[in-house]
Amino acid sequence: MGLTIAQKIIKNHLVCGEMKTGNEIGLKIDQTLTQDATGTMAYLQFEAMGIERVKTELSVAYIDHNTLQAGFENADDHRYIQTVTKKHGIRFSRPGNGICHQVHLERFAVPGKTLIGSDSHTPTAGGIGMLAMGAGGLDVAVAMGGGTYYITMPRMIKINLKGRLSAYVGAKDVILEVLRMLSVKGGVGAIVEYGGDGVKTLSVPQRATITNMGAELGATTSIFPADETTKEFLIAQGRGEAFTPLCSDEDAVYDEEYTVNLSALKPLAACPHSPDNVKPVSELAGKKINQVCIGSCTNSSMLDMLTVAAMLKGKTVHPDVSLSISPGSKQVYTMLARCGALADLIAAGARILECACGPCIGMGFSPNSAGVSLRTFNRNFLARSGTADAQVYLVSPETAAASAIAGVFTDPTGLGEGVCVEMPAKFEVDDNLIELPASVEEAAGVTVERGPNIKPIPVGKAPDEDLRSTFILKVGDDITTDHIMPAGTKVLPYRSNVPKLSEFCFTVCDPTFPQHAKAAGGGVILGGANYGQGSSREHAALVPLYLGIKAVVAKSFARIHVANLINFGIVPLTLANPDDYEKFSQGDEIEVIGFKEAVKNKDEAMVVCKATGARAKVRLNFSARQREILLAGGTLNYTKQNG
């Protein structure tokens, strides 16, 4: 039986475990990346391991999230990351060099290699044929130290693409169609591979847009073949030697297969407040809008920017609309300036933001009260924009540009012939903002600088013999890491300060939660399906740990978040019967007799409500390694205990 693209890469990097769906496997990791919102904690954890030098082929630290420096906190964290990476053998991408995923695609991604990053959109590099996965910062720290990265062997989903995209229909419309078909839960436990004749019609930036938003499917990652188009892109970046052809075997077997006819696709929009709440733009046409944001790691490539500039040239943004443009990298920004496209954007009335995540994470450019914002981003979760009652829609750059001019939702296919934009035959390469680390000899003389905002990492404890606690909070389905640990200008500067960060935990769901949790001395969270979807931010586990959360009971968990919970010693318990969720209420006192013993060697346990006697069986879906980690109170303790 033949192998899929992902299976081939996994086989070549397999350290332990059997490549059987559902089994835990360990992988050798070739590359890692971090960004500054998660990086400080990851490097603190790396330092705690006592390893002097990273052992990966390449590790890069990017500064792209906390670039709005309204106080000393962000600048101090940047200085810490700059010095700690210099000391330990990690490249440092300075502020202004660009968004991690766009820069990594341009300068470092390699077909057939493995990459994990402390950002959930690391699968962007799958557009170049790389097995790229989002992970918690602690898992990235372990990989930098030469440790194995563990995942559950995924099932394989294939999306067959046929035909060719019509004028004004973009790659964003492709992934929105896939989200419409599969939902935000459809990719959980799977790797999504794209194939078919339609693949040849898509450029690498278009493929990267699609793999980027595979994170919204809940997928482990998404991947495209490495073909002649990939080779041309790498040659244009001056990295032709990095190319390796990669495709699935003709007799490869997939667990599920779907087909998307590119020729039949029309512009789509994800409506508030979920990426899978997808409707045709034609159904929304005429709806008044207030804001348009173009950029983010999803749609900030040279191809995207040139398309938007061509559509805006000679026109003016509607007076009722505020338009922002965030180029994805210094390379893109420089080339836009030199070819004149930047001038066209400015002349049309666009507000040019720096090469950073910016509005995508609520870091500035928030919409007006109850404002309708069209964004080429990847997530439209409630309040993520920084405005609690904003109505955020996810659209393609083509739809965004057309709507910005009209002042209302506009289907760009009604504009006639599409603009003619081609990929550059050669990109301008200047890596002067990527600092190389000190040599082994020089590293001893490097001083790591720590600002006062950097606080110690909370450390978990072994499970109690019997769990006696309270359901301190009950939440519904599809709770995201933005619900648990919000982003935005008020919160992100404290990502290295867990005590301060705890003041914001779950405040999207319950403004009083932090105070209540502290007063109660912690408790247990009761959640619905797909608990913890979204970002890879480990702070959504670290901060609950600090607040005394001992376990989470849920219908189901998102992949990265459940790994983060285990890493920090919070026990994730899955309801055997999802309907049992209705038996319990917030405030119920509960107990699990023999809790520690169950964590140690049992597959099931019983949660009992002391007041009503309601009972629910929960599953402990852990590998032997994960059980040892939980019994140690988390990965840091486990690592110290095991040398």
Q: Which of 14, 48, 7 is nearest to 28 (CA)?
A: 14
Gyration radius from the chain CA atoms? 24
Q: Is the dihedral of CA 479, 480, 484, 488 positive or negative?
A: negative
Q: Which of 8, 525, 105, 30 is nearest to 332 (CA)?
A: 105
- Residue 444: which residues within 8 A CB-CB, separation 6 or more? none
Task: Find the length of the chain.
Answer: 643
Instruction: List, in sequence order, every residue forming a beta bridge with 591; answer none if it has no partner.
Output: 468, 608
Q: Where are the beta strands (DSSP E) in 295-440?
A: 322-325, 351-352, 372-375, 391-394, 434-435
Burial of 426 (0-12, 13-18, 19+ CB in 10 A): exposed
Q: Which of 492, 521, 520, 517 is nearest to 506 (CA)?
A: 517
Distances (CA, A) of 265 to 6, 162, 205, 486, 527: 27, 11, 19, 34, 36
Residues annotated as catalytic (active site), given as ranges? 64-65, 119, 379, 535, 537
Residue owning tokens 């559950």: 152
Q: Which of 78, 46, 47 is nearest to 144 (CA)?
A: 46
Q: How many CB atoms lie within 10 A of CB 494?
A: 22
- Annotate 443-470 with b (16+ C-beta within 10 A) or e (fewer): eeeeebebbebbeebbebeebeeebebb
Q: What would the two tokens of residue 309 be? A: 């500039």
Q: Are 378 and 360 in contact (CB under 8 A)?
A: yes
Give the span between the Cα atoms of 615 and 612, in whole angstroms: 9
Give the span between the Cα atoms of 118 and 434, in whole angstroms: 19
The H-assigned helical ranges of 556-594 are: 559-567
